[in-house]
Structure 1
Amino acid sequence: MIKILLACNAGMSTSLLVENMKKAAQEKGLEIEIKAVGASSVRLEMLKEQGWQVVLLGPQVRYELKRIQKAADPIPVDVIDTRDYGLMNGKSVLEKALALLEK
């Protein structure tokens, strides 16, 4: 199972994106778990639940990138493309997460 953690301001604005990513994963036949949390809760979520493989940040919290990279190390962390986020392009964001896993 692939586990992806998304972070935004409060963990709410990414809920539609999570659903779109789940649909894209289902189309690919992937078993996946995706959860959205507030950026300030990423470290706590990683301590509470193990096994997250990728962390993606909403563009509105890109300023948290360095802090979250440090907290998540060695798990890859990156920022979701602003256009993909605005369009709630679950397929593209899922592909970004999968590409980070392959690195």
Structure 2
Amino acid sequence: MKILLVCAGGASTGLLLKKMEKHWDSIGVELSIKACGLGSYQYHAENYDIILMGPQVAYRIKEVRENTSIPVSPIATLDYGLQNCENIYKLAQEMYNDKEKN
């Protein structure tokens, strides 16, 4: 699964990215993940399976969906703030499975 994490500037998702890599590695899940700012998601989106957006930019989700052809979902504020990788993994897996069905 290839995930693009999008936030305002890429810094806060960069921290989350590191924690997600460690968590998913510990449960044996292969993960390709990149964090970027809202201004550059279009340059990267075609190389990823799904986009997860930080809650601080979730108000732009409609725009991101219109500009990409892959599933996009916001990360819940609490999960993002607590860096709850287990819940974020569940969200990503559901999105990926739905994409594979269609």
Q: C-alpha displacement at 1:37, in angstroms?
A: 0.2
Greater than 3 Å deviation, 4+ residue runs: none
Q: C-alpha displacement at 1:15, in angstroms?
A: 1.4
Q: C-alpha displacement at 1:85, in angstroms?
A: 0.6
For residues 1-103 of structure 1, what are the structure 2 equivalents within 5 Å?
2-46=1-45, 50=47, 52-73=48-69, 75-103=70-98
Give the residue type in structure 1 aligned to 2:23.
A
What fraction of aligned residue pairs are identical, expressed as a percent? 38
Give the SS at the match of 2:65: helix
CA RMSD of aligned residues (A): 1.2
Gaps of 5+ in 1: none
C-alpha distance in 1, partners of 2:59/2:92?
Answer: 19
Q: How many residues align?
A: 98
- What is the TM-score when the length of structure 2 is the normalising length? 0.89
Q: C-alpha displacement at 1:68, in angstroms?
A: 0.5
- What is the TM-score when the length of structure 1 is the normalising length? 0.88
8 Å CA contact 1:20, 1:89 repeated in 2:
no
Gaps of 5+ in 2: none
Q: C-alpha displacement at 1:46, in angstroms?
A: 2.5
Give the SS at the match of 1:17: helix
15-24 or 57-66: bigger deviation: 15-24
